[in-house]
Structure 1
């Protein structure tokens, strides 16, 4: 193998040495061209395969930008060449996007419907060509409709009659489509009419000679979806409902604004009911008017107290003055020479008379100031009516001496009604008029009244609450008095009890003291008599305890007093 390579290398080297410079340059060029070709093939083969959206380039820059912007909203990668060709990644995406563009009228005018659906119209004979044409159109339309997100399956039947000799005998092209809509989709709802119109436009662009009135689109339940004439009544009802909703919203806005203003001045409880009715003209009117008015040559100076403006009713654009004077005999035609004239006798008699003729005229072309106005009115308010009632003030009567509320024998509070003054009613009326933009020429009406509102239930509740509060206050007062009386009685009882106890203790202490004195006296007498006195253990302990208590009382009188008070409180 190595010898073969060496031999091949020697042969190439020998040939290279024999070639001329031109041959060497040609060989180098061929090798470079082959290398460049290989590089280009590898580059183009590595690029992803795309499917053109249209078979022809879109030359209109504005239309191409609209199409690309709409496709980018579908989160689809779009490729646009310098020539204007638009392509996407695969055929399924292309069919779905074509359906969207047809539905939204974004198909360029230079795109042929056949190129849109990629139908190849070539065959052997006319009959086979027509059959293949119909089958191809049906298949392509079915694929396009089924590529929609909300369509599960589509069945398309086309009626393409043969061409008749006379136009009056030509039968129309028809199309019927049955759509199986995916569960949960609102494709068949009246609010999604635009989607059904998109399918209908798809059929019209795909089938030559097909008109909208010859298309029937139904769902799997047999409901016709493109009966737009039958939906006109539904549309009218929806429009009326929207108009009523608009009027209601406007009335609510006026009502909230007026109530907020009046309730700030008259209190919320006094201004409760406000009725407002707005009559609106929802029809669309186009008004063309021409107004003629004079020219203002010099405007009014606002600094002067008088009007110094200069106004011209018209301006002379052009004028013509004619002044003719004629003296002499008038021209009297006689006819050819040698022939008697054919003039009537009356002219013949006046042929040699001398006359004078004078003509004066002046023609002026005057121009006036003109203003032409063209406006479209829709909608407009025809009339606004407002009625509002303002209640007066109810003031409770009080006793001027005690300041207490006056109560009738029927246990109700006496009240006095103070009506709203006429001046306040006029001010409230002006306030409402300014709030609604009152226009007398339009027929607006504002009514502000002062009618006493029936507050029987409110007053009954207030009277009941007042009576209950008075009863509660009286009960609390009596309870407080009773508690105070009980406390006073208890205090008196305690004082009397303590006094009786103190006296009882004093008596007992006095008795004990007397007994002690007698005992001590007896002992002293016995000692004086030289008698031996014996004391029991209890008497001895009692005597020692008394001596210790007396010594403590002498040394700490305050502590002993505190101890005695504590004993008394415990008892």
Structure 2
């Protein structure tokens, strides 16, 4: 863990590394427990555990491409035996983003859930995320933030779908590029659950019915009871009796008014109202080389409005609106006058590219070609003065031009640098 440098460059290298943000302290992680010390108190162990979690989370968050540096602070309260007095852990995250980088709400929500899942008992709503300038990045509930962004995206998609359908339909009548349509919808994202109980007084239903029926009949004996009537010589007593009959009948019927119970759950994302704004361009006529604008008739505007109302399922009770305005568009069909040709500019551009070509051609014909021909032709040296040719040997006369070419070749061979400079001066002239 030590880097050795020359002693006279220690401070210079420290400043250079500091200017580049090196070293970047990543914090201590769970390696803090690699060296266990004997006699460490429970309080110190608890602090080391919190430091380890903070360091590991800092390292993980710094893996994001948008994050340059990060700090994580976790506050874990001491546990108590009283559940009603127990406090929840909290956390704070400070992020330093790279230049030109921005975190969206989805990424911020991911960081919040990462930290909440790493600490026992830590809820996402108890985590605060800020940047190095102090701006709050996280909301009260990251789940609500994600839901809001999804609702906004859904509403935009509904508006775009309406606009696309209406635009294609109207442009089929007025022409491509002749209409501009904007749609604004109001969408209810609340989920409603209700129970309805309806009673029908005209319909009566039997709730309960009870019927009871009893019948009894029997005869009773007559005479004097006892032994006297049974002795011999006595007149038998006259028998007499009654025959009672008992009958009972009851009926109990309970009626109840008819009712129906229904449970209704309205889905989220119900369109409450639709507002449509349309700009329609007119027509154009050419008369004597001049283009004039002609506005569309009221009948046409009415027809367009009826078509749009039918396309969106117009409902006046929910507050739908369709507004059409006929205005001339700035991008009219008037033809622009032909632009005047600047012959001087064209000529200068042609000369700009033609002059180098002419110079190269002249250089080839008047400089390179004579040199090449001179190299190919046989060189006939002049005889020294006083020396006569041998008998039978024909000596050709050397012309002045050949002598000059020979001198030029000799000069080029002796000093090629000077020869090239001379050619450059000729080309410049």
**Structure holding more helix per residue:** 1
What TM-score does the superposition give when structure 1 sets the normalisation length?
0.34
**Structure holding more strand per residue:** 2
What TM-score does the superposition give when structure 2 sets the normalisation length?
0.42
